[in-house]
Structure 1
Amino acid sequence: TDQSTTSRWVLSHLSHHKLLIAGMFIGAFGNAALAALVPVLIGVAFDAALASPADLRTIGLVALGVIGSQTVRAVLQLGRNFSSAVMGERLERDMREELYISLLGKSTAFHDSQPVGDTMARATNDVHEVNLLMNPGVNLVAGSLNFMFMPLLVAPSYHLQLVAAPLFFIVTYIFAVVRYLRVLQGIADRVRRSFGTLNGRLAEAIDGIELVKST
């Protein structure tokens, strides 16, 4: 794997799961598209009901269309969640294995210079965070992005001016999220460091207790 940067390391592991990535994004797009289809079908049913006489055949076909589309949507949603869950578990497994192999290859001097608790925190909690990054992290982001951009695709079929509202929301939302993530990054870094320090002190305290009891 490419270990030149953190991002490339994660991406190099993701490159081994192209089918799962495709399943997640196809499921996310299908979920949003079929959710947007329901109001369109209901509108067609209302037009058929308001016709004189009412077009019962169209109403029946629309009802079947709603049932069929939402059944397909449920299957796609299941595939999306399954793909992201499996991908997260595999990433955690592969990265933890690679980290263990790397630690086993280090010299004794390296391990003596590193706090045991901090190393334990990196090998357990930090690696598990990669799993959470994919599921629910990327899974929710993929679904949210599709639901955000779907109005831009559907609105022009009604009236072009309807694009303005979702476009304004998307632009302001992106700026708000970028600012939020910048603030959150510093907090997350401090939490990870404090967790490593806590594990280090705990490991030293346990070693001290074991030493006292053995003497």
Structure 2
Amino acid sequence: MVESIGQFGPGLKPPTFHDLRLPLLKKAKDETENLRERHEKAWKKYGCTLTCDGWTNRWGRHLINFLANSSEGTFFLRSFDASDRARDAEILSGLIDAMIVNVGYSNVVQVVTDNGANYKLAGALLEQSLPWLFWTQCAAHCLDLMLEDIGKIPSMKKVINQERSCTTFIYRHGCILHALRERTNGMDLVRIGATRFATAFLTLQSLLKHRAVVRSLFGSEDWNVSKPIDPRSLHPTG
């Protein structure tokens, strides 16, 4: 939005309160309904996958997003606040069944959820009541759980803690971080993943790739002239 405003240049007249709450809102609603009609054609022709994405926001509310994926793409359906019922498999299966009705029983081929015990049981309940339906575990969540278990192996846990100590030390000291980025052409060592387990292994991969650069950094003039380091900064925060 900001980029579009900048491209327009001086003289842009913003929409009024009336425009935003009536004609522009109606236009956006009509466009969304037209978009859904295109997706519905694909659902009827090829079938679709109903994706159930549960997550917890910063206020501790457990939200569940429902999306339909087909050859036309992914379409957001609805979001539920399930803070008081997320652990109840029967209620979860009821929510998912209601969304299947919304999309159309004949249109939904499979349901994809995460691998929590509550979702597993909800998936089993759905397959019993809807014999043609396939419940599938989320592959990304499976991989994340695998990385979590690998990270608990004592030898692996030690390596990850050493990695965090190294990167925490570098990122807490601006002059050292600047010297590192000069040697890596602006690339960072810490690779942010979707979860902290993925982040740990992506960062290990990055350290391996740049190990020669990191070694040269701690033997460089930048390191020799840097200020004395507080030993407390060696302890990782995460």
Q: Which TM bucket (shorter chain)?
A: under 0.3
User: Greater relative contact order (Cα 8 A, min sep 6): structure 1 or 2?
Assistant: 1
Provide TM-score, normalisation by structure 2.
0.21
- Bigger fraction of residues in helix: 1
- Bigger fraction of residues in strand: 2
